[in-house]
Chains A and B, each alone.
Chain A
Amino acid sequence: MAKYLLLKHYRGAPAPVNDVPMDQWAPEEISAHVQYMQDFAARLEKTGEFVDGQALAPEGTWVRYDGEGRPPVTDGPFAETKDLIAGWMVIDVDSYERAVELAGELSAAPGAGGKPIHEWLELRPFLAAPPTITECPHR
């Protein structure tokens, strides 16, 4: 049992195969895309593999401590920020292989022309509590 974070990058990752900006899709193509992701989440809820998921707004603010008694500095997003995390989902699955399989499936969401967008997703394992047994083999 392991938890993974699926990070959806709309920017910052290599260009997907079907790389057409979303505002140039047909409205029903957008609906199909959204529906696909909702169905995906609903299916994972049924299999007992869904933990949490949220969409994120594209704009962010950088915040930094600016010394004793002063308010934190805020700025940005900086011009050189190439990355955009569009949303995330946490899954709890039996194996790494299953996590990869699910990420691949999510990446196949339909885009322009109804074809899969082949979007790059980042798959990050959660660090867990140490197991009870540490000196002995565990598989």
Chain B
Amino acid sequence: MNEALLRSLTPSVLAILVRRGADFAAAEDAVQDALVEAVRVWPADPPRDPKGWLVTVAWRRFLDATRADAARRRREDLVEEEPAPGPAPAVDDTLQLYFLCAHPSLTPSSAVALTLRAVGGLTTRQIAQAYLVPEATMAQRISRAKRTVSGVRFDQPGDVATVLRVLYLVFNEGYSGDVDLAAEAIRLTRQLAAAIDHPEVAGLLALMLLHHARRATRTAPDGSLVPLAEQDRGRWDTESIAEGVGILQAALARDRLGEFQAQAAIAALHADAPTAEETDWVQILEWYDELVRLTGSPVVRLNRAVAVGEADGPRAGLAALAALDDSLPRHTAVAAYLHERDGDLATAARLYAEAAQKAPNLAERDYLTRQAARLNARRCR
């Protein structure tokens, strides 16, 4: 059984049912039934047109399920409301599904879960595993999300930015269990990029590819963090980097800059440097200035301070840092790094230890603790 094929067909089959007037939640159930049926029947009797087969079976399931009186009445009302048949609009149904799954009325976690289920075709169990929550919890989250969007009209244009934010959340989540969420996010963003011509979609895809290309070198075999400067550049995935850079360049040529393109440009400059010392920090700093202008985000300003430290020296970096709120995540870690570069090892060691206390994950905490220990050992010798 070709699971990848089923997964890739799921969103368009679901979209066709919804476009025909099926309620989103009911359509989703019907499609799931059809998938189960496909797994059962296809090995012995493979259909010539898998998508057509799925649509037929799912639609039949949907009709079966809505045969109850009340439901039928609702459906008749729906049909009545339907506009008269005319020329079919040239819209991609799957695209509408993306917009629906990222609808602003959903909380971020619900939007993520629904997207992975409806557009990604993942099972509830797989999504639950990836997020390390019980399957029942994820099932509730998905069914609530379905209820929330069940009244939303399918023909409303959605907001691309919201969809991109959801995909970015999925990508950032990393991976666990048998589903690699980063790879999944890339697959979905690729699909979206094929359906919609938008420089920021391309920007996000490029960003994901560029980061993904370095993923294997980001942690040591024992799970500890390897900072960018110490990563084995020979193991970076040059094919992904080349693809990401190509997509980014085409997007930048459109001259409609957005934050994902700017972030991808920074990632591309890192990926492009043969050694850490040869990193073009001056150009990276220019992109951070663009990002600050685009987003005004305090986190971006913090990252910019790191770039200032590399481009203009640690003192300049510390001056840029001093202008920022010291309660920002990783503020202390950045301060520690800049003080070390400036030669003040005592302050750096103290700040590394302090930053370790505030680290958001275990790998980072261990890394920062080790930095503090390294400096303390050096000072005592």
Q: A residues bordering B, Cβ < 8 Å? A: 1, 3, 45-52, 92-94, 125, 127-139
A48-B144, A51-B133, A129-B176 known; A137-B297 Cβ under 8 A: yes
Q: Which residues of A contact B108 (CB under 8 A)?
A: 1, 94
**Residue B141 at the A interface, CB < 8 A?**
yes
Q: Which residues of A contact B266 (CB under 8 A)?
A: 135-136
For the complex, give the distance between the alpha carbons of A49 and B108 in Å: 13
Q: B residues bordering A, Cβ < 8 Å? A: 107-110, 112-113, 131-134, 136-142, 144, 169, 171-174, 176, 182, 207, 211-212, 215, 218-219, 225, 228, 263, 266-267, 270, 291, 295, 297, 299-300, 302-303, 359-365
For the complex, give the distance between the alpha carbons of A116 and B314 in Å: 54
Contact B360 A133 (CB under 8 A): no
Interface pairs (15), CB distance under 8 Å? A47-B144, A48-B137, A48-B140, A48-B141, A50-B134, A51-B137, A94-B109, A125-B360, A128-B360, A129-B361, A130-B219, A131-B174, A135-B267, A136-B207, A137-B303
Contact A48 B110 (CB under 8 A): yes
Known: A94-B107, A125-B360, A128-B361. 10 other contacts (CB 8 A): A1-B108, A1-B131, A45-B140, A92-B133, A93-B109, A127-B362, A135-B267, A136-B266, A136-B303, A137-B303
Q: Which residues of A contact B363 (CB under 8 A)?
A: 129-130
Contact A127 B263 (CB under 8 A): no
Contact A136 B131 (CB under 8 A): no
Q: Which residues of B contact A1 (CB under 8 A)?
A: 108-109, 112, 131, 169, 173
Residue in chain B with minimal CB distance to A92:
B133
What is the CB-to-nearest-CB distance from A24 to chain B, in angstroms, rounded to a whole number? 37
Contact B182 A132 (CB under 8 A): yes
Q: Which residues of A contact B112 (CB under 8 A)?
A: 1
Q: Which residues of A contact B300 (CB under 8 A)?
A: 137
A133-B171, A133-B172 known; A52-B365 Cβ under 8 A: no
Report whether over half of chain A's contact residues are helix, strand or loop; otherwise say mixed.
loop
Which of A51, A94, A127, A138 interacts with B365 by CB under 8 Å?
A127
Q: Which residues of A contact B291 (CB under 8 A)?
A: 137
Which of A49, A52, A92, A139 interacts with B299 by CB under 8 Å?
A139
Q: Which residues of A contact B171 (CB under 8 A)?
A: 132-133
Q: Which residues of B contact A92 (CB under 8 A)?
A: 109, 131, 133, 137
What is the CB-to-nearest-CB distance from A95 to chain B, in angstroms, rounded to a whole number? 9
For the complex, give the distance between the alpha carbons of A3 and B109 in Å: 12
Q: Which residues of A contact B176 (CB under 8 A)?
A: 129
Contact B140 A46 (CB under 8 A): yes
Q: Which residues of A contact B297 (CB under 8 A)?
A: 137, 139
What is the CB-to-nearest-CB distance from A53 to chain B, in angstroms, rounded to a whole number? 11
Contact A137 B109 (CB under 8 A): no
Contact A129 B303 (CB under 8 A): no
Which of B110, B113, B172 interacts with A132 by CB under 8 Å?
B172
What is the CB-to-nearest-CB distance from A41 to chain B, in angstroms, rounded to a whole number? 12
Q: Which residues of A contact B364 (CB under 8 A)?
A: 130
What is the CB-to-nearest-CB distance from B361 to chain A, in angstroms, rounded to a whole number? 5
For the complex, give the distance between the alpha carbons of A136 and B141 in Å: 29
Q: Which residues of A contact B182 (CB under 8 A)?
A: 132
Q: Which residues of A contact B107 (CB under 8 A)?
A: 94
